[in-house]
Structure 1
């Protein structure tokens, strides 16, 4: 009698069990392929999409999309998120629909990728995190503080071993930052040797190229040579033309890349939707001034002869770019003096020295670097070039941002609004891209380019990374002067089946984790 009752109870329980963990209904579905939107539902079970279309069945939870767009979670292929374990919620990314990020860009990364992934698991991040292995970080570890030279055979072997181990641990490729010390001192042969190691593991070579100025065609020749000789897929990071002397050459740049692709090379590129970049203020200084340790820099600017040589090189750099002064640079975060945050260099010079003359601007830059440096925003591109790059079918949308603590410093707004800006300004307002095509640039194209398995598409078997947004309301209220505003219009964000944003509110769900090559 007792066993019969238990059997009946089990049957009743089985009959009542829901077919799906989550069912999204009444959605305009953009599957990530670039195909037109279709009305339907999406069913999720055990962190995977199990059905898309006219889906019926019971579910533990139901989200009525209310006719909004449901798309694959956005994949941001260019971020600087080595500190993700300190800000594991990464709410600024989630609130603009990003469910997967790739860090380790521009040559800077954690060199122990295995340990990095362990820390990501322990901190329970809210989104998926993949990484590149950074050439600059590898070079620094392999060569010590002496950079203005080629590595010895032993040092190159050490660097190759570091790249090899990182790839074995799950890195998706090798990145370079060839405007940054120590990467700026590397010769092309060194880069080819290391790219071959990444290529042996099916990795990609991702490059912040040596020049994004009027000399960009030299840099393009280099990345094309590396792709050809290392037999590696290549990616141009944050494609742009920086400085007045380079403006207007966007179509020429794309023509060079298209010709390389026609010759059989696999080269793509990514872009953020702003006409200002952001990096260290030290990029206004010549590389040779930064070689070695911080004490070496301090010694150089303390020596009148060496300081004069540095200032002369700064003048050459301004002339090449067509700049008269540093009014295009805005301090985002000054380590030694937060009162300078949000100020242009002339404004900072006026505050510190009582004058905004060019000589005083230079002295402020040198002094800031002496005191520990600063990050800055550089207004150096044109809207016309940006739009030409954005229209190209192989341009992926990527922020070049990182996880942000709300209200801290005056960072570039791209970390809060990049994807929303594309959808609001360039799709809805300017109609530069169709909505399905813009979504493809944020989803399936990045997944295919970086070989992220079962990501970037809404189809049965895919990981359940899903974003729901209103295309008529999506916007980027974050600005350069007032950046700390989350993107608007995104009502639901789902990561691996976990609802992290529900009805526009962060749920504290952290269902992300490390994303290794091939996963």
Structure 2
């Protein structure tokens, strides 16, 4: 190096540091409030948004949004992602703009929340993960294999202790799955006792209610009672009306909830954007058939008298739902026989038994459960009810999905396309509500409801969870028959200031982690 060059460098001094870590320019900003889009820039430093609007300064990285929409990262308030550490990138969520997921729904969760969060940190997840503590999991741990009864004082103390510790470890609330064993056997007083524990920590009570059929009004009465007596914020999970006998009552359901809210109760609800649900195929069986261990079920169907009682109860369930057979159910994942994946129950019966008659459908359901069970998609709702629920301003959008591997099984398309479907079908095509309002339902509304501090808004001080998308190109190509397609139209996804998707390509950045309530 020459003396002249060295002297010049000394005079220049050290290079000036950039003002920001990241600067997003030329964006149409949907800030999460539901207000009109505003042209401007977003500056990020230290994982937080530090300036919004007309921003001046240099940045280590610049993203030119090119007139696309920049919104807060979407918050999926209802997922089943207990296996997130096995699929830590969760690209199916990222690709539809989701930067935060809430797991532990429908009464099923990890009961050691502290340990779960440690594993999340170790696995280097790409998005934020919050969890509820699941009542069913707590009940199973607290009561062993005997469920058709109330817990004794010692067992209830064990259960309350588990909920209390989970809340201390950062759970956002308590969830119930009251159509699933063992939660289905719980009485309301038990739920109130545990909801009070969550409420003492400022947690929420989130319920897959006892009925989503024509008996839904009984279930609504129960959640209103729990919210009242436990003095707890409440959430109706995946609000729906299942089965033809329940269809057409969406307005009445919302009227009940609005009446409760008018009395001061803080009750909201979430919804996915499809007319089919997905859960275990065992939901076609009566609860009493599933009590105890798996061996108990096998023993029951091996006993002709007990098996006949189970089949008779299945007939009652079909009648109540207005069903003639099981053609509405399609197998999503059968570990014992993957050849059945994607097949309806009549089709599975034809494959397994050579006949698709009702008796053969019943037999194949019993066989599958005896061999370890299966998950299934249930086509049980109608579009008119779905749209009535969706139009309500307190309906937040949630997938009820989980992390997916491309090409594995035949899962519900909601895990790939739920948020994109809102923006593409219900905003752009049907014009049911505005784009900013749709963004509010997916961002600030769940952030406020679940007390996720400094999330769900684009404003100075908020965590830099941001998604950039083209509203004219957002699409959900995933279908029931061909689900493994990522959502389209989302070009950038930023989690805690880290760009995890850039120019529609996944990066190596893994800036997510556990998300604790109010922290």
Q: How would you bin the TM-score normalised by the shorter chain?
A: over 0.9
CA distance in structure 1 between the aligned counterparts of 2:17 and 2:111, rounded to whole angstroms: 46
2:177 is the counterpart of 1:177: yes
2:387 is the counterpart of 1:387: yes
CA distance in structure 2 between the aligned counterparts of 1:9 and 1:187, rounded to whole angstroms: 77
Instruction: Indicate conservation of the 8 Å contact 1:493/1:501, yes or no.
Output: yes
What SS is found at the alignment partner of 1:234?
A: strand
Instruction: Indicate conservation of the 8 Å contact 1:104/1:110, yes or no.
Output: yes
Cα 1:10–1:129, aligned 2, differ >3 Å: closer, same or farther?
Answer: farther
1:200-235 deviation line (CA, Å, top 9, x unaligned) = 000000000000000000000000000000000000
Q: Where does residue 114 of structure 1 map in the other structure? A: 114
CA distance in structure 1 between the aligned counterparts of 2:281 and 2:197, rounded to whole angstroms: 32
Q: Where does residue 13 of structure 2 map in the other structure? A: 12
Q: How does 1:39-54 map to 2 (within 5 A)?
A: 39-54=39-54
What SS is found at the alignment partner of 2:155?
A: helix
Q: How does 1:485-496 map to 2 (within 5 A)?
A: 485-496=485-496
CA distance in structure 1 between the aligned counterparts of 2:199 and 2:8, rounded to whole angstroms: 57
What SS is found at the alignment partner of 2:445?
A: helix
| TM-score normalised over the length of structure 1 | 0.98
Q: Post-superposition shift, 1:11?
A: 7.3
Cα 1:185–1:11, aligned 2, differ >3 Å: closer, same or farther?
Answer: farther
Instruction: Indicate conservation of the 8 Å contact 1:89/1:508, yes or no.
Output: no
Count of residues paired in the alignment? 515
Q: How does 1:120-519 map to 2 (within 5 A)?
A: 120-519=120-519
CA distance in structure 2 between the aligned counterparts of 1:453 and 1:13, rounded to whole angstroms: 38
Q: Post-superposition shift, 1:335?
A: 1.3
- Structure 1: runs of 5+ lacking an equivalent: none
What SS is found at the alignment partner of 2:60?
A: strand
1:317-371 deviation line (CA, Å, top 9, x unaligned) = 0000000000000000001000000000000000000000000000000000000
Q: Post-superposition shift, 1:10?
A: 10
Q: Post-superposition shift, 1:271?
A: 0.1
CA distance in structure 2 between the aligned counterparts of 1:251 and 1:36, rounded to whole angstroms: 28
1:153-187 deviation line (CA, Å, top 9, x unaligned) = 00000000000000000000000000000000000
Cα 1:10–1:321, aligned 2, differ >3 Å: closer, same or farther?
Answer: farther
What SS is found at the alignment partner of 2:121?
A: helix
What SS is found at the alignment partner of 1:13?
A: coil
What SS is found at the alignment partner of 2:369?
A: helix
CA distance in structure 2 between the aligned counterparts of 1:185 and 1:195, rounded to whole angstroms: 16
Q: Where does residue 55 of structure 2 map in the other structure? A: 55
1:435-487 deviation line (CA, Å, top 9, x unaligned) = 00000000000000000000000000000000000000000000000000000
1:96-137 deviation line (CA, Å, top 9, x unaligned) = 000000000000000000000000000000000000000000
Q: Post-superposition shift, 1:517?
A: 1.3
What SS is found at the alignment partner of 1:226?
A: helix
What SS is found at the alignment partner of 1:179?
A: coil
What SS is found at the alignment partner of 2:366?
A: helix
Q: Post-superposition shift, 1:509?
A: 1.2
What SS is found at the alignment partner of 1:440?
A: helix
CA distance in structure 2 between the aligned counterparts of 1:64 and 1:515, rounded to whole angstroms: 29
1:31-82 deviation line (CA, Å, top 9, x unaligned) = 0000000000000001000000011110001000000000000000000000
CA distance in structure 1 between the aligned counterparts of 2:188 and 2:464, rounded to whole angstroms: 41
Instruction: Indicate conservation of the 8 Å contact 1:48/1:461, yes or no.
Output: yes
Cα 1:70–1:315, aligned 2, differ >3 Å: closer, same or farther?
Answer: same
Q: Post-superposition shift, 1:12?
A: 3.2
- Structure 2: runs of 5+ lacking an equivalent: none
Q: Where does residue 74 of structure 1 map in the other structure? A: 74
Cα 1:284–1:20, aligned 2, differ >3 Å: closer, same or farther?
Answer: same
